[in-house]
Structure 1
Amino acid sequence: MPSSSNSSVANIPTDDELFPAVTHQNITNCSFSSWSKAYKSLIPKTKVIRPLPQAFIDYLLQDGIVLPEDEYLTQNSTGGHISDYDDDEDPSPSDEASSSNPTEAFIELHQEIIDTIRDLGGSVMPKLNWSAPRDAAWISTGNTLRCNTPSDIYLLLKSSAYITHDLTEAFDCCNSNDIDGNGGDKGKSTVIQPVEYELVLRKWVNVNPSVEFRCFVKDRQLIGISQRDMSFYDFLPSLESILTKEILAFFETNLKNTFVDPDFVFDVYVPSPHNRVWLIDINPFSLKTDSLLFSWDELLASETAPDFEYKPDENLIDFRVLESEDKINSFSTAQHSENKVPKDVFDAGLTSEGIADLARQWKKMLAKQMEDDSSSDEE
């Protein structure tokens, strides 16, 4: 197998002539709800909340990080308030704290999120149509995407540049001629529909990042597999044959002839004992998708055979992992380093009032996390 290398094929430009035209429909096909029902048995337990109210989208795009007092708006099945306050306290909606609560603009969604977290076991991982807020994990108390409350979800979503991109630039990679959603085919009259944004809440599982992989498909043929987490794991090279065989079989059985587009990228999780593959995400075959241990020049230059000649063989799949710690800096800088300090946090630091607000929110999150951990220990 080719060793981990970041060399590019010489004189292979990644221009429109070589890169498959990316259309509005291609991007839509990769939206979670567009494919998840067809592969329901292959994905972790998930709940999709859609459509998201415009008030919530506006909240995510607003400057500043204002989080709700969850106890004010948490309701039980009888409509009564569940509160951590003493019985003699009455945190009514008219209180000053409640009046500044952003969830008043999307109270039904807020309650549905609370119910969904409970139904999925108390902890979830959030994402929107295409992206998870992986670049914002550093801001959570555990440096993960684990969320136990709506406030945890809101903080991650509002701190993520990936989420902002979903909401404002999801189709920025589409062919400039694709004004009608048909790749520039003016003979068709398809009208591009407004995006119906969705909140995807996945049951939290403590995933081992060493066995997450990104797989590249060109002309319905699996041409490359790359580890996703850019850390060195000394055991991965020895698992190459097992992992490649499992992922190739998974692709051939479940995705090769069923996903609507011939060119796409899919992410999988193959936990020990490495005999079950979970589908995590599907992404467009596009420059906007991180090629990880490959270059897009290499992927575009990969040759594929016609279907009648194609014989699946794990020995022909380009499987790449980091083979030494020395290779780490050759492939990438720290993941999501461009987003380590979200604009909202940076802006908050410009004024003493902003710093104080951020400190209060952080203190509240830490206290909530300690309370949740304590409750879990008691159980």
Structure 2
Amino acid sequence: MTTDFHAFSDDKFPALTKNHIDSCKYTNWYEKLQNKSLEKYTIKSHILKNLPQTFILFLLEDGIKLKTNTENTFYDDNQDFSDWSSSDNDTSTDEDSIKFIDPKNEFPEVEDFINDCFNTKSQKLTPRLNWSAPKDAVWILPYNNTMLTYTSEDVYLMLKSSNYIMHDLLYPYDDLKEKCETEKVNYDLILREWIENFNPSLEFRVFVMHGKIIGISQRDIRTEYIYLHEIKDEIRSTVDNFFEEIFIKNYFEECSIEEQNLVLDLYVDIKTQNLKVIDINPFTRSTEPLLFTWNELLTQEPHKKMYEFRLGENNTKMSSRDHSENQVPLEIFDASLDPEKLRELTYEWNRLLNKQLKEDDA
């Protein structure tokens, strides 16, 4: 089989505006679906709007701020290896030179909000900002490669370790042809309640252009789920009914057909009749097309009766890994799951570093 390659221009995309990107902010679409008939399609979320600038600057600071005591205090020694604590044999650190950052003092409203959510709402939460969740940073916490967090420290560490969060903060309108000022963006912290037994095989990405579905892709492209082929038609029918009878009437109520473009992430469990909106993404090149290419999606026949619904079938994309550009060596990932391995890895790191320094001095 041969593959045809085509020149592809961004001009094939529908016009992208700042309003379109803003409409995909989590708070905006979540609040649109918050009424008695629609809230069942969302995941219960707790939102702190208009984050203080001190917290934004904290997230943007270089290096991961490690907790040094039980008071949720973080430090930044401005060193290249600040991610690692000193070994017991290393007494070279000057504690007086360490800059301590206490969330209770620097951004108390954020700290209080997070702690209140854990104490009164749910003991298991997943964090995100306006457009992105820190899916690329799940390796940083020892919770089975999930975005699950239990403490404010978990939340801070997850957010600070994510390139996706950095993109939200630095380049939210990067896909626009005309530059927009990011300084005027109001950022929100969203803590979503954890739902047990969420099955990654039942997450799907729905591509919508000019008010019509033009394709659906399996969300987890790393795995082939054979059983999905048996219920594919039922999933398609459920998505179609939700989109046409519920979503389009409530989300696009003030939009022309030409403006009805987005990428919708859904969780669809046929057995339990459970459908949830996971996320809404801008219809733009920076949104991952998963098992499609953007060229395939945008060059379809305009009057095609049935859109394509793709599931993994041992193709080339099945071997790729989500967020692989943000992965770390396997030894570090394994160590993050085992405190003893983490201590051993830290000790070995310092031993090799000291050996290298001695050889350089010799």
Shorter-chain TM-score: which interval?
A: 0.7 to 0.9
Q: 1:216 aligns with which of 207, 211, 214?
A: 207
Shift of residue 224 of structure 1? 0.8
In the TM superposition, residue 138 of structure 1 has moved relative to its aligned partner by 1.4
Deviation of the 1:274 alpha carbon: 5.1
Aligned residue pair count? 299
Q: CA deviation at 1:334?
A: 1.4
Q: CA RMSD in A?
A: 3.1
Structure 2 residue 325 is the aligned partner of structure 1 residue 338? yes
SS in 2 for 1:241: helix
Deviation at 1:50, TM superposition (A): 1.2
2:291 alignment partner AA = L
Is 1:232 aligned to residue 224 of structure 2? yes
Q: Does residue 195 of the first structure (1) align with residue 185 of the second (2)?
A: yes
**Deviation of the 1:68 alpha carbon:** 4.4
Match for residue 172 of structure 1 among 171, 174, 179: 174
Structure 2 residue aligned with 1:317, among 307, 311, 315?
A: 307
Aligned-pair distance for 1:17? 2.5
- For 2:20 and 2:4, how far apart are their aligned partners in 1? 26
Give the whole-Å Cα distance in 2 for the aligned partners of 1:255 and 1:319.
19
Residue 61 (1) aligns with residue 60 (2): yes
Q: Structure 1 pair 8/51, CA: closer, same or farther in 2 (3 Å)?
A: farther
Change over 3 Å in CA distance of 1:8–1:131 after alignment to 2 = farther
Normalising to structure 1: TM-score of the pair? 0.71
Note if contact 1:31-1:129 (Cα within 8 Å) is conserved in structure 2.
yes
- 1:28-47 aligned at under 5 Å gives the runs 28-40=22-34, 41=39, 42-47=41-46
Query: Does the residue aligned with 2:296 lie in a helix, a strand or coil?
Result: helix
8 A contact 1:243–1:274 mirrored in 2: no
Dislocated runs of 4+, deviation >4 Å: 7-10, 68-71
Partner of 2:360: none
Distance of aligned partners of 1:266 and 1:248 in 2 relative to their CA distance in 1, 3 Å threshold: same
Q: How does 1:291-310 map to 2 (within 5 A)?
A: 291-305=289-303
CA contact (8 A) 2:171 2:182 kept: no
Contact 2:60–2:166 (CA under 8 A) maintained in structure 1: yes
One-letter amino acid of the counterpart of residue 249, structure 1: N
**Structure-2 separation of matches of 1:290 and 1:274:** 28
List alignment gaps of at least 5 residues for structure 2: 74-94, 333-341, 348-362
Check the 8 A contact 2:172/2:182 in 1, yes or no: no
Q: How many angstroms apart in 1 are the aligned matches of 2:137 and 2:69?
A: 21
Cα gap change, 1:99 to 1:172, in 2 (>3 Å): closer
Deviation at 1:210, TM superposition (A): 0.5
Instruction: Write out aligned runs for 1:140-289 (5 A).
Output: 140-142=141-143, 143-175=145-177, 178=178, 194-206=184-196, 207-230=198-221, 231-257=223-249, 258-259=251-252, 260=255, 261-273=259-271, 275-289=273-287
- Aligned-pair identity (%): 37
- Work out whether 1:25 is the aligned partner of 2:19: yes
Q: Give the alignment of 1:323-362 within 5 angstroms.
A: 323=313, 326-327=314-315, 329-330=316-317, 333-341=320-328
Give the partner amino acid of 2:239.
I
Cα distance, 1:8 vs structure 2:
7.2
CA contact (8 A) 1:9 1:298 kept: no
Structure 1 alignment gaps of length 5 or more = 75-94, 182-190, 346-354, 361-379
Q: Which amino acid counterpart does residue 288 of structure 2 have in structure 1?
A: D
* CA distance 1:198–1:70, shift in 2 (3 Å): farther
